[in-house]
Amino acid sequence: MNFKHLIKTTLISALLFGASAFAEIKTVRIAHYTGVLCSAPVHTAWLKGFFDEEFKKIGQKYEMVPIAEGSGSVNDLIVAGKADAGNELLATELQPIQNGLPIIFVTGVHTGCTKFYVTKQSTIKKLKDLKGRKSKIGVIGLSDSSIMTFKRKLRDLGVVADGPEADVEFVVYGASDLPLALQKGAVDIIALHDPTATTAEEEYGFRKLLDTATDPKFAVEYCCIAFVSLKLWKENPEGAAAFTRAVARGSAFVNANPREAARLQLAKDIVPGSEDFNTKLLESYTHIPSRKATIRTFRTVATELQKTGVLKKKLNIEKFITSHFANFASKGIHVPDGYKYDKDTGTFTETTEEPKTLAKNIVEN
């Protein structure tokens, strides 16, 4: 091939395939928490090769971006332009989104991993006992999802959570300090996320006041959700779809085989704990991915947080959902509602309908 022919071939390629003929292969940066059991669907999608498969199908690559527990957040990386996708507690994200956080939800990954405790000696037996008590609630941060969850529950019970007449006061401690604060009486209740929550329960013998995995209000909705940056959604929706399908498959895998998921995380030294302990926790949540159930959860949580004052009164909830939930069909991209995994055959089946329920075990508080 002479030089003139080479130039001619190159120009023809450019005309046929456009600038993409010279473009670099796109890479989607996936942020994931280390030390956090809740990221099991993302970790499983990575370690079982689901990300490999989905990104290979579309001719793209991905990169895992670790976040050590307590060292930052997916939101920080999204804003800094250092990550394109990740997962978080849904209730934590809504106020930041309202204030301009550039993300869009793609699918729910699992139900409740947040728990609230009192000491065994506490006179607080039920949540309704908080009315008129001026109780102190220990939390890891004033923007943490535990506060949003508690405010929603207290509102149902007629307990005032805000303002000068509030029946409760939220006090911030480090996650590792909360159990001792409760034990010493500095606070009346603590809110923790697993695995720290269950570890503290077993070590100190705390009594569970509210468990979002079994409470009738919260067991039917997602607590953790996967999302992508608005930039990725606008510029690379195929990459966003590949991430979504892989994470949904990861979630379905965990639901069918929690022990193997626990083994994978431990083998990679991503989370602490033991196989039995971590398996028990993963089994206690429902890992059934469903985009329809995600929209339902989004609507319920946003509507109730608006009523508590966390979200602005003037916010149009339906427009809020439309703007911040990925509609892949509008871009001609196939993403199923969810998946089921058969561990005997090692195969996935796409699902099209919302599951009848996300709850595994309802316990009245």
Please state the domain extents for the chain. Answer: 24-112+221-351, 114-211
Per-residue pLDDT tens over the stretch 312-356: 999 999 999 999 999 999 999 999 999 999 999 999 999 999 988
Q: CA 62 → CA 26, 31, 127, 243, distances in Å?
A: 8, 10, 45, 9
Residue 365's pLDDT is 61
Residue 262 C-beta-side C-alpha neighbours within 13 Å: 19
Residue 1's pLDDT is 45
- Asked whether this chain's domains 24-112+221-351 and 114-211 adopt the same fold, the reply is yes
List of the chain residues with pLDDT < 50: 1-22
Note whether 119 and 207 are within 8 A (CB): yes
| Per CATH, domain 24-112+221-351 is 3.40.50.620 | no
* Antiparallel, parallel or unpaired: β 85-89 and 224-229: antiparallel
Residue 7's pLDDT is 38
The class of domain 114-211 in CATH terms is: alpha beta
Residue 23's pLDDT is 54
Q: Which of 335, 326, 349, 250 is nearest to 48 (CA)?
A: 250
| DSSP-based three-state secondary structure for 261 | helix
